[in-house]
Structure 1
Amino acid sequence: MGARQRRVVAATVTATMLALAAPAAAHVKVSGTDTTQGGFGVLTFRVPTESATASTTGLLITLPADHPIISVTAQDKPGWIVTVTHKTLPAPQKDDDGNEVSDYIASVEWKAAPGSRGIAPNLFDTFSIAAGPLPKASSITLPTAQTYSDGMVVNWNETTTAGGPAPEHPAPVLTLTATGSDASQPTATAPPAGGATPSWLPITALVVALFAVVLGVANLAVARRKG
């Protein structure tokens, strides 16, 4: 196998790796800045358009009623109309500090304004909210509905069961920083529950192994030619 052939094989394997890894990375995800338990922080949602023909024209984020968040300021984005919806709780609740809460922020929605194309195919955008007080819990789940220009709605609302497979449309989950720890670093999305292996790991391992085999065959061919 000549040098040119080896380069072609390597390029092919690399392209295959990227193609296989892309679906795993194309989920709606959330990350946080200063998102401490019981505090106020900024939650940023990364929204990719997976469709090859339709644009993302709507994003609806649902906030939890069991841990009501009473203050939310949504990001103002050019080309988008944002709506913050309040709801009254069926019965007043005590927040984590013992204060009585009767209403909360139920959802935040962005819709592409008339004349705006939204998020075009194969592109992504980010949407942020400043929210608090955040639950005094290790994480918060934020089901999100993504609407496309062709009318399709993708509900990112599935959760992982212990020992079960990774869901196709996982709900964005944000890990909250414990009070008193270093909250200056962005908080990553929580790993799947129950210790489930992320869906991209077996694929990546398989592709890396394939790449190693191809290089080994190429080196063996070179060694035999020199011999």
Structure 2
Amino acid sequence: MSTSTASPSPLRRGGINPRTLILFALAGVVLCGGAWLALGLANRGGSESPNTNGQAPRLSDYGVVPNLSLTERSGQQLSLDELKGEVWVANFIFTRCEGSCLAMSTKMQELQNALQQVEGVRLVSFTVDPENDTPEKLTSFAEKYQADGRKWLFLRGSESAIQQMAKETFKLPFMDGTDPKEPIIHSSRFVLMDQQMHIRGYYGNNDPDVLKKLIADIMVLKDTGAE
């Protein structure tokens, strides 16, 4: 497991066999007591069409993510279109959040660890508090979760652009809150995108099987492409 927190040029691709690597990664976690990572294709919370012929299920399509220019925690400008050709998982967080963001980031760290050697998969955390979350603060936050800049990106943009993306593209709630621990109310769901920037699934943070479901669906997209 890489614990590098540097943020090199974030988008690289390779020819490593993803299924072989993910099976090794999962086997290691299971032996350490992480049986929740066992691969399975059942009960994915409505992210797929019914499977009646024994073949891999077809995931639903919830629309396309438009291009947007954002800033990564490294300070590097990144266009979302640069993620085309890769499977990626997104969530929305902010660094001064004392509630759901902590649990979500822990799960993202676990997902990163399981998929560390699998090429063509990225994790993306969008901050919903860009005025406060400078690249330096995002870097400090990322280091707490041993985020590898080659695998896990932390992106910020204008507040209006992030709100519009959350509400209109991802169809997720976003509003000001009154709880000091949650001054910004946002969704705690994880969102899965395919290689063509289409939204293919939503996954609840409170679901005990969320990582198992995410990994299974990631592998469906890796095996079948953006069908």
What range describes the TM-score normalised by the shorter chain of this pair? Answer: under 0.3
Q: What TM-score do you get using the length of structure 2 for normalisation?
A: 0.26
Q: What TM-score do you get using the length of structure 1 for normalisation?
A: 0.26
Higher helix share: 2
